[in-house]
Structure 1
Amino acid sequence: MHANVERIGTMQCGVGESPVWHAGEQALYWTDIPGSTLWSWNVFSGQINAWALPEMAGCIAMTGNGWAMAMETGVFCTPQPRAGAELTPVERLATVEHARPDMRFNDGRCDRQGRFWAGTMVLDTSLGAPLGKLYRLDADGARNGRVESVIDDLIVPNGLAFSPDGKTMYLSDSHASRQTVWAFDYDIDSGTPHNRRVFIDMNAHPGRPDGAAVDADGCYWICGNDAGLVHRFTPDGRLDRSIAIPTPKPAMCAFGGPGLDTLFVTSIRIDNDPLSGATFAVRPGVTGLAEPVLHI
C-alpha cells in the first residue's frame, strides 16, 4: 500500500522508540535510546524540544503530571518538562535486578487499566541471550519500589500492545532467532496474562517484529524492522495491509494527532541513509486509541 508519509523535523535518533501522543499538549513524545534523550513535537506549532536523560530510556508512559520512563536500572518519573528548560531531576519509582549488568529496558507501555509494562534485554543482541523479562509496575509495586517479573526467556521483547477492551495482550520477540508475536488472554482485574499462543509467525512476512500499536478496530500494527514496512494484522492474525516507510528500520508506531488518525513511526539510524533515525507521520485511513495514563 502507498501512503503519504511525512517526516517530522530533522532530528536523527540512534534508536527512536516509544512514541506517545499527549492529547493535553497536542504533542508527540518519544525517546532516543542510545542518545539518552526525550523528544517532543507539537502538531500545531511544529516546535521540537529535546531533554537530556540520566540513563537510556527504552520506553515512556504518561503519568498524571509528567512521565514515567523505564531506563537502565529501573523505572523513574519526572514532572512534565518545560520547553527550553532542563529536565527536572528524575525520581526512582522502582528498581530492577538484571541477570547481568549489561542490560536495559526496551519496549513497553501501559495496559488499559494504567499498569506499566516493560521488557528488558541484553545490550549486545548478537549474543542471543534469553535473559530478558517482561515486568509489570502497578500501584503496589510503586509503593514497594519494585517491578514484578511476569514473563521470562525473552531475547528482545517488543511489540507490546493491548486490544481495545484490554482483554488481549500482544508481545513480540524481535530477535532473528525468534521473530514471533504472541497473544495472551489478559485478566484486566489482576493484570495477569495467560493462555499464550502464537499470533503471528513473522518469518512468513517481511521484516522482524518490532514496536506495535492497536487501532480502534482492534487491528495490530507492527513495524517490520529491516523491511521498511509497517504491517496491519486483523485480530485473527491475518495480514490486512502494509505501509512502506522510507527507511529500512522502522522501530515503533503509535496513533496520535487531534483525531487520533495519524500513525507516527520512529526509526533506527544506519550508515549511508539520511532518513534513518527520523520520525514519520502517516495517515493510514483508520483511527487509534488514546494512550492510557500510569496509575500509581
Structure 2
Amino acid sequence: MDGTRLTEVSVLATGIGMGESIRWHAGRIWCADWLAGTVLTVSAGGGPVETVVQVSSSGPLCFDFLPDGRLIAVCNDDGTLVAGPPEGPLTPIADLVPSSPYPWNEVVVGPTGLVFVNGIGFDYGESVPDAPLGSIVVVGPDGSVRPVADTLHFPNGMALAPDGRTLLVAESHGHRITAFDVAEDGTLDGRRVWADTPDHFPDGISLDASGACWFADVPGQCCVRVGGADRARDERGRAPTMGPAEGGAVLTTVHLDRGAFSCVLDDDPADPRLYVAANAWDGEGAADGRLLTVPAPSPGPRRRRDR
C-alpha cells in the first residue's frame, strides 16, 4: 500500500556528484557530496549550489549541526569526528577508530549536544554480510566515545525526537526502523521495532511534527512516510507531540526517477516541503546527483538550533 501518493516533485538543484546526508539548518538545505568529500548548501527556493567546506578526500561523509551552530562531521579518511564553523576550519574532537576500524555511516546531534554516530561494521564495496554487524556510539562534549548499541543490520539514517528521548535508526538490510529510549547520558535502552518495512530498504530518515517518519529508499526509488495510522488525542482534540508516532502504517509515498538516499523536512507550517538527495548513474557509471522537493503533509519539528 502506498497511502497517499504525492506527485508534485520538482528539481531544486543539479550537478551534485552523489548527494547524501541532507539537512535543514538556518533556513537552508545542506547536503554532503560523497564523491567530492564536501558539504554543500542551497537556498530552499533554489539557486546556485555553494561548496561550504572540504571534509575528506571522498565519501562516505556524514554531518550534522551542534546546538551552538557548529558543523560536525565524520572524516572517514582517518576516522575522526571533526567540528567547527560551517565554512571551516574543522578540527578533530574525537577519535572513532578504537570503536571500529570500518567506515562510519551517519551522525545525528541531540538537543543537549550528545552526538550519535553509526557504522555498518564492514568495508563499503564488500557484499553485505548476513550477520548484523552495525553499531552506534555516543560522543560526549568532552570527546569521550562510548558504544551504546550493536547487532544492527546496516544502520543508516537516524533521527531524534525533539525532546531527545527517542532515537530512530533505519536498518536498511533489516528492512525496519528501530527505536531506542535515550537516557540523559546517551545510553540507549528499550530497543524495539518502530516500523517494519518489508518491501523497502530504508536509508536516510526524517521525523515530522505529527510524529510520523519519512524514509528514503534507494532501490525502490521513493520516499515513504510511515507511522501510527491513528494517534490518540487529548480532550481538546490535540495530537501528542513529544515522541514519534510508533507504527508501520504507510501514510504517504513519493515515487522518483532515481534512488532516494536521504530526505529532510523544512519547518514551515504554512508550506511544508520534503527535500530529497537523489542520485542516478548512466551506463558508463557517471553520477547524476540532484536535490528534489515536494510538498509535504506536515513540517519537520521546530528545533531551536534550526532557526
Q: Same fold (TM over 0.5)?
A: yes
Is 1:230 the counterpart of 2:223 in the alignment? yes
Distance 1:112 1:183, change over 3 A: same
Change (3 A) 1:281 1:231: same
Structure 2 CA distance for partners of 1:169 and 1:257, relative to 1, 3 Å: closer
Identity of matched residues, %: 23
Q: Secondary structure at the match of 1:10?
A: strand
State how far apart, in whole Å, the 2-side matches of 1:126 and 1:292 are: 41
Corresponding position: 1:219 with 2:212: yes
Match of 1:85 in 2: none
CA RMSD of aligned residues (A): 2.7
What letter corresponds to residue 40 of structure 1 in structure 2? Answer: T
In the alignment, which of 168, 173, 176 is matched to residue 180 of structure 1? 176
- The amino acid across from 1:208 in the alignment is F
1:76 to 69, 82, 93: 82
* Separation in 2, partners of 1:100, 1:22: 29
Q: Residue 15 of structure 2: SS of its match in structure 1?
A: coil
For 1:97, the equivalent position in structure 2 comes to 97
Aligned-partner SS, 2:127: helix
**Alpha-carbon separation, structure 1, partners of 2:286 and 2:247:** 34
How far apart are residue 147 of structure 1 and its match?
A: 2.3
1:109 match: secondary structure: strand
2:223 is aligned with what amino acid?
V
CA distance in 1, matches of 2:215, 2:85: 30
Unaligned runs of 5+ in 1: 82-87
TM-score, normalised with respect to structure 1? 0.82
Equivalent position SS for 2:94: strand
Matched with 2:50 is 49
SS of the residue corresponding to residue 38 of structure 1 reads: strand
Q: Among residues 157, 172, 177, which one is paired with 2:155 in the alignment? A: 157
Structure 2: distance between partners of 1:213 and 1:80 = 21
Greater CA drift, 165-174 or 226-235: 165-174
More displaced, 267-276 or 243-252?
267-276
Alignment of 1:256 with 2:266, yes or no, is yes
Structure 2 unmatched ranges of 5 or more: 228-244
Mapped partners of 1:160, 1:174: distance in 2: 11
Residue 191 of structure 2 is aligned to residue 196 of structure 1 = yes
Q: Distance in 2 between matches of 1:104 and 1:2?
A: 35
Counterpart of 2:139, as a letter, is L
Q: How many residues align?
A: 275
SS in 2 for 1:212: strand
Q: How far did 1:224 drift?
A: 2.3
Q: What is the DSSP-based 3-state SS (H/G/I as helix, E as strand, rest coil) of the residue aligned with 2:281? A: coil
Indicate conservation of the 8 Å contact 1:21/1:291, yes or no: no
Post-superposition Cα deviations, 1:59-86, rounded to whole Å, max 9, x if no partner, equal: 21113253110221121013231xxxxx
